[in-house]
Amino acid sequence: MSTPTSVPRVVVIGGGFGGLTAARALRHAPVDLLLIDRRNHHVFQPLLYQVATAGLSPGDIAAPIRWILRHQSNARVWMGDVVSIDTGGRHLRLADGTDVPYDYLLVAAGATHAYFGHDEWHQYAPGLKTLEDALDARRRVLLAFEQAERETDKAAQRRLLTFVVIGGGPTGVEMAGSLAEIARHTLAHDFRAIDPESARVILIEGGPNILGVYPEDLSAFARRALERLGVNVWTGSVVTSVTAGKVHVGGETIEAGTIIWAAGVSASPLGAKLGVPLDRAGRVLVNDDLTVPGHPEIFVIGDLAALKAADGRWLPGVAQVAIQQGRRAGANLARQLRGEPTQPFRYRNLGNLATIGRNKAVADLPGWKFKGYLAWLFWLFVHVMNLVGFRNRLSVLTQWAFSYITFQRSVRLITFDTADADADDAMPRS
Amino acid sequence: MSTPTSVPRVVVIGGGFGGLTAARALRHAPVDLLLIDRRNHHVFQPLLYQVATAGLSPGDIAAPIRWILRHQSNARVWMGDVVSIDTGGRHLRLADGTDVPYDYLLVAAGATHAYFGHDEWHQYAPGLKTLEDALDARRRVLLAFEQAERETDKAAQRRLLTFVVIGGGPTGVEMAGSLAEIARHTLAHDFRAIDPESARVILIEGGPNILGVYPEDLSAFARRALERLGVNVWTGSVVTSVTAGKVHVGGETIEAGTIIWAAGVSASPLGAKLGVPLDRAGRVLVNDDLTVPGHPEIFVIGDLAALKAADGRWLPGVAQVAIQQGRRAGANLARQLRGEPTQPFRYRNLGNLATIGRNKAVADLPGWKFKGYLAWLFWLFVHVMNLVGFRNRLSVLTQWAFSYITFQRSVRLITFDTADADADDAMPRS
């Protein structure tokens, strides 16, 4: 990098909520900022389940990172894979061998799925963290219905039309509700040999309640709403193993055509490359100003950071925390540049929201909890307003209006990896 | 299939323009119709280049086949790969071993790219026939800009920013114009190390003119319009070989980061499985009622059929021909069921349309040719009106309005095959 030595080089790893907010917070700072992400796009993760259930296109919930930062003249964006970090020499290395020096480093590399030490479950039960994950889930769900239509064996058909979602947090609840709706409404008239309504959707949660972090009455409301949609909710059910097309819950075995993992995440392996203490989930134990012990020039934020809130509880891995930490880390870095002391991070909980199907939600805001249609409208408003870019907001609103009126899901396409598509040229091209 | 023997079984292979139109033409016929396609969706192929250049999402130009036929109660839809056809025993076999008997067969399997006997060029210069092709092209184009931004070697950067489109027909012209626009407008502010406007777009055509089937003045207008957008148009230039990142034109070699093939197609290999005479391009030489010689129960239509128009010229492989043949084949099949004689196919040429960039087009209609902005508005109207489904029309219009006003392309996402995404878990997830 041929930048004048007088301007500090700031490298931000990760273009998620945390990394992007930190980069934006430094827009007026006298730095040469480089944001590195393995993807070219930021993804609005809370709506990934909508892509997985064919309600939205990938383009509706994602935007190119360099487009988001196009007017920030002190920022550059690279697409690259960080493979090692030399905290002593202050540089990092990309997968293609490029060496990137830094004066300040901000790591916002996020989390990936966690299978509780059973990584082999991944192939049978993919999670939902990236656009590719969501497209993979969409392909699996739609293919299950296609195969069921052609299946003559009733037991096999029943298996194909069984969908299991593991994990009763917001993503699992939203995914299960959405799957039930597809079967009941969207596909109702499209099949001849099967009745899509006979599809079974099973939501499995190890704890006593779904949406465990919510107040009990909201959690109970969500359960009833899901059950009305036709979802079987299994609480207190710990998954002991996942094999091909099978979920084992204690002594019971569910045969399922599609299994979706929404049960847990673990921190990005990049945290371990910093050579500082981690918690059991692989998260970096950060100082209260979000720097790393012994390295005031390194900040870690978002899902990769482990920090306790004022009440002594660990901060959850949600977008709100990442955004607020990104703002604080950017401000603290700017304070260091000016020779001022850093300030501790204070989390302000703005509340939790989860949707159940097409017109119900639960909202747990500070001092105010509500549910039902009003909560759903509020959920809609909050999510659409937070989507990056005017075009995405407009497109998502149009699509939702369309879905809502017609019960249709607009993006029911099964696309394959390019490699697959090329392999078989003997087939009709539509 | 457990259908009463009294109802004739009609199998349609292919859910493109021809197959879908034929299926719709039989909606009131007393048949048990089964449409088989390897994809679950119909693609509006004339707009594939818009997906390849990040202007539209796959969902905007495609719709599930079973959704299109959802209200046609005599029709079923299967996703499947036809691998063999036994015309004597009147049944066909799918890749998974399923045996499908038929009384009438309608083959509308279309065409695939043709590399003039050089299939090895395919890996270096992908074509544009499926959604997967278009997504692959989009990934290549956007990755070239990303890599150029990180490249310090000027020669390598110049190579990455060189885009070659081979073939000066409508698809090639539309693709080249669209690529030039991306560089000049869409990406203008997004990069720091490169000037996207320095990108070179070269359109190579073997014949003396681009848009060879158009009148000479429209063809010349299209050339000037492309050149004003910054496209280098090389006519009378025959590509002698394509290797990794290189296009050889006679003695010259162009080093290019991205090469797109728009030069030719060949008929689906399914035609050869019918055991009837083919032309040199592998198309089935059909009777003038679109049946196959010796098999009045087999119809072949669209890009897979070879038939001469009244003026003695071979019919081109365009959507119009496929649609009109689908209508005629469906009607002729219904006539056979009623014991009436079939009627010959008569092609009614409705004209040709091609667009050059964001506000110019050429229109060659019967008795009327025009060009420029008016032709572009006409092109817009015709294409949007022909999109399957109200939602697609609305979404495409919204996106185009947005693109037009802001010069932005909304779907600039680089997504990878799922297999790739899983392989490297050590990276930051955005």
Judged by CB atoms closer than 8 Å, whether chains meet at A428 and B189 is answered as no
A183/B230: higher pLDDT? B230
Which residue among B40, B64, B394 places its CB closest to the CB of A398?
B394
pLDDT reported for residue B156: 93
Name the token pair of A331.
Answer: 């401000």
Residue B396 backbone dihedrals phi, psi, to 5 degrees: -65, -40
Which residue among A190, A392, A426 places its CB closest to the CB of B269?
A426
Q: In whole angstroms, give the CA distance from residue A239 to residue A16.
A: 30
Residue B281 backbone dihedrals phi, psi, to 5 degrees: -85, 5
Q: In whole angstroms, give the CA distance from residue A130 to residue A114.
A: 14
Name the token pair of A70.
Answer: 């196009």
Q: Which residues contact A252 (CB under 8 A, 6 or more apart)?
A: none
pLDDT reported for residue A416: 64
pTM comes to 0.83
Pairing label, strands B75-79, B32-37: parallel
Q: In whole angstroms, give the CA distance from residue A409 to residue A53.
A: 8
A–B CB contacts, 8 A cutoff, strictly below: 252
Judged by CB atoms closer than 8 Å, whether chains meet at A67 and B426 is answered as no
CB A281 within 8 A of CB A306: yes
Residue B429 above 50 pLDDT?
A: no
pLDDT reported for residue A117: 83
Contacts of A65 in chain B (CB under 8 A): 430
Q: Which residues contact B381 (CB under 8 A, 6 or more apart)?
A: none
- Cα diameter, chain B: 73
Tell me if residue A352 falls in helix, strand or coil: strand
For chain B, how big is the Rg over CA atoms in Å?
23
Name the average pLDDT for chain A. Answer: 87
Q: In whole angstroms, give the CA distance from residue B26 to residue B75.
A: 9
Tell me if residue A27 falls in helix, strand or coil: coil
Distances (CA, A) of B269 to A424, B85, B266, B275: 11, 12, 9, 12
Q: Is the alpha carbon torsion for B83, B86, B92, B93 positive or negative?
A: negative
Q: Judge whether A174 counts as a catalytic residue.
A: yes
H helices present in A114-215, as ranges: 131-150, 154-160, 170-181
CB B304 within 8 A of CB B270: yes
**Which structural domains are found in chain A, ordered by start?**
9-38+80-113+265-337 (3.50.50.60), 119-263 (3.50.50.100)
Give the chain B residue nearest A133 (alpha carbons): B418
How much of chain A is helix, strand and coil, in % rounded to 5?
Answer: 35, 25, 40
Residue B346 above 60 pLDDT?
A: yes
pLDDT reported for residue A47: 86
Q: In whole angstroms, give the CA distance from residue A403 to residue B143.
A: 33
Q: In whole angstroms, give the CA distance from residue B16 to residue A237.
A: 47
pLDDT reported for residue B326: 96
Q: Which of A141-150, A362-371, B85-94, B258-267 has the highest mean pLDDT?
A: B85-94
For residue B44, is it left (φ>0), alpha (ψ between -120 and 50) or beta? beta
Q: Which of residues 41-80 of A touch B (CB under 8 A)?
A: 41-43, 57-60, 62, 64-67, 70-71, 76-80
Instruction: Place B206 in a pLDDT band, splitting at 50, 70 and 90.
Output: very high
pLDDT reported for residue B406: 61
Residue B114 above 70 pLDDT?
A: yes
Query: Mean of the pLDDT values across residues A253-277?
Result: 93
pLDDT digits over A273-332, tens only?
Answer: 999 999 988 999 999 999 999 999 999 999 999 999 988 889 988 888 999 999 999 999
Q: In whole angstroms, give the CA distance from residue B172 to residue B209.
A: 12
Of A139-143, A185-189, B10-14, B151-155, minimum mean pLDDT range: A185-189
pLDDT digits over B309-336, tens only?
Answer: 988 889 988 888 999 999 999 999 999 9
The residue written with tokens 């609005």 in the block is: A44
